[in-house]
Amino acid sequence: MSIYNYLVQKPNNEILSMQTYRDQVMLIVNTASQCQFTYQYEDLQKLYTRYQHQGLTVLSFPCNQFGEQNPEDGQTSAAQCKLQYGVSYPVFEKVDVNGATAHPLFNYLKHEVPCADMERETMQQKMLHAHIQEHYPDYLLTPNIRWNFTKFLVDRQGRVVQRFEPDTSLLDIEQAIEALL
């Protein structure tokens, strides 16, 4: 299988092939409108604005599996992202990323790159780990996605090359993107 074999749904119910993004570097992110990491919408927009003309696209997939932090549908999520954060990259229909109802694209992404151990150096990392361990212990098992704003970097050939946890520095992500452009 290749990433280009998957179909995704836009908020207007249009089905789109991942072939649409062939020959582009993709940063695929599961997002949530009411998460502590929502500031990353603006960071993702900055990356998209800076590198879109060099072939980067950011693809946002709202997800409500982590603390029910995205209760609205994809259409409302897309509108909120545009209005509140100036997002101009594609926002898709809401998906599940873990479990039996996980979207096939995210099952593919999770199994293409290894999941690093969850860092617990900063207070934010410790608090997030403790929260997940208490409320969603299965999400700590690899290869599950642990929380909102997990990012997958895909190269121009469609290979998933790296996974970034929600608290990964934007600088580290930007350097990885630049290496592929």
So which residues are the catalytic ones? Answer: 35
Angle, alpha carbons 143-146-147 (nearest 5°): 145
Tokens of 74: 């994809």
* Partner residues linked to 97 by β-bridges: none
What is the rounded distance in angstroms from the CA atom of residue 110 to the CA atom of residue 28?
11
Residues in Cβ contact with 123 at an 8 Å cutoff, skipping those fewer than 6 apart? none
Residues 6 or more apart whose CB falls under 8 angstroms from that of 6 comprise 17, 18, 104, 105, 108
DSSP strand pairing (25-31 vs 151-154): antiparallel
Neighbours of 103 (CB within 10 A): 22
Q: Are 55 and 156 in contact (CB under 8 A)?
A: yes
Residue 56, SS3 per DSSP? strand
Distance CA 5, CA 133 (A): 34
